[in-house]
Structure formats: C-alpha cells, structure tokens
Amino acid sequence: MQQQKSKKILFYIFLLITFGSINNLSFNEIRLDKIENIKISGLKNYESKILLNDIRELKLKSIFFLKAKEISKIINKNNLIENFEIFKKYPSTLFIEIEQTKFLAKINKNGKTFIVGSNGKLLEEKYSNQPLPYIFGNPNIENFIHFKKILDSSRFSYDTIKNLYYFPSMRWDIELKNNIILKLSNENLKETLENAYEFLSSEKNRKIKILDMRVKNQIIIND
C-alpha cells in the first residue's frame, strides 16, 4: 500500500515538472499510456476469456489512474474465484492472479444441483465432474462451511465422506464411503468427531452400520 502511494506521488511530481517545463504544449496533447495488456492467471482459458471480456467492458484508460475497486467488483461477481491480486506493470500491462475456489460438495437448491465452493458460493454442476459428497437437507451454506472447518481441524479425513445429512435441529450426520453412518451431536462437534475417529480406528475389523454419538460421552453402536 505504501509502495503504491509512493509511485503515485512520484508520478504527480513528474506531471508538475512536465507541465512546468513545456509552455507551448496543451494538456490535451499530453498522452498517458493506456492499458494495452491484461493478463489473467489461475483460471482455465475459457473462464479467463469470460473474465477478460467483463473487465474490458469497463473501458479502462490510463494505468496511472486505475481504480482497483472497479475491477474488484467484476471479479467478485465470479463465483469461481476465492482470492485475487491485481498488479500493475508500467507502462501499460495489468496482471490479475486468481486463486480458484475449491469444490467441496454438491447440494440441491430449487430442484437443481449446484457445487458448493470453499468461498461459500454456489456454482453450476458443469464446473466439475469429480465425485463430491452430496448434502441432503437444506442447510445455510455458511453453516456447512463452518461445519467443514471444524471437520478439517479434527483427524477425520474429508475424503472418506460419501454423503452429508443436515437436520433442522442444526445437527449433522455423516455417511462414510464404507457405508458407516455417524450420528453427530450438535454440541462439542470437534470432540465428537475425535471420539468417532478413535473408536473407528480401534474397531477396524468390526462391521458397524451406525455410530450414534448424539448423547455426550456415549456411543451407541448398531452393527
């Protein structure tokens, strides 16, 4: 931020020197370099082209007076994007580095299947063919993102999950790829997940159908 301010100050000094030393040149004859190149990294070619076209709709002028907020608004409308940075390369090139959102799960909304991104936004199913856990029920997406963060902080591997079930009581069930169902408490979620991990690790050879941990300090097994 400080570096950008310094560059602007230097440029204004340059303008003052230029206008002060050229008496016979009108302001309209002073040409400031326009943005000639916009380079986007982090997205597939097709997605980059769409974003590039949207940015060009802004009809950007000189790189010296570029307002990043204008571009940021366009970028933030793209649900594929998690984070981004904008860099200027003088005199006329703009670099946009994109971090694409991670695909976490699939969910049905209004009769249509969407992908849930790690940025908390929904994307059309066409963006990924990879197998993802399916969320049944109707959770708020922020609730799911919060649940995912707690799960990631435990020793449980998200890759072992086949489906997720959300209940109006704000409670989750997990169906693993080995078809075991974990009924979780809506309190002390991380502790419950750790207990489930410990139990399943010690009972690998046991054929378990359901592990019910809705009551604190209690595990009910259905095998």
What domains, with CATH codes, occur in the chain?
A: 31-100 (3.10.20.310), 103-222 (3.40.50.11690)
DSSP state at residue 78: -
**Which two tokens mark 133?**
């856990």
The Cα–Cα gap between 65 and 67 comes to 6
Helix/strand/coil percentages in the chain, nearest 5 = 35, 30, 35
Q: How far apart are CA 42 and CA 12, in angstroms?
A: 34
16-70: per-residue pLDDT in tens? 444 443 333 333 333 445 777 889 999 999 999 999 888 887 776 666 666 678 8
Task: Give the pLDDT score at 30.
Answer: 37
Write down the pLDDT at residue 8: 55
Please answer whether residues 66 and 86 qualify as being in contact, where contact means their C-beta atoms are separated by less than 8 angstroms.
Answer: no
Gap between the terminal Cα atoms of the chain: 60
What does the pLDDT read at residue 19? 41
Q: What is the pLDDT of residue 194?
A: 92
Q: Residue 98: what pLDDT?
A: 95
pLDDT (tens digit per residue) in 98-142: 999 999 999 999 999 999 999 999 999 999 888 999 999 999 999
Cα separation of 45 and 57, whole Å? Answer: 19
Q: How confident is the model over 145-189, as pLDDT tens digits?
A: 999 999 999 998 999 999 999 999 999 999 999 999 999 998 889
C-alpha to C-alpha distance for 2 and 14, rounded to whole angstroms = 19
- Residue 93 pLDDT exceeds 60: yes
- The proportion of the chain whose per-residue pLDDT surpasses 70, expressed as a percent, equals 82
**Higher-confidence residue: 209 or 65?**
209
Res 190 pLDDT > 80? yes
Place of tokens 């002073």: 30
Which amino acid, residue 177?
Answer: K
The β-bridge relationship of strands 112-117 and 122-124 is antiparallel
pLDDT at 84: 94
State CA 139 to chain mean position distance: 18
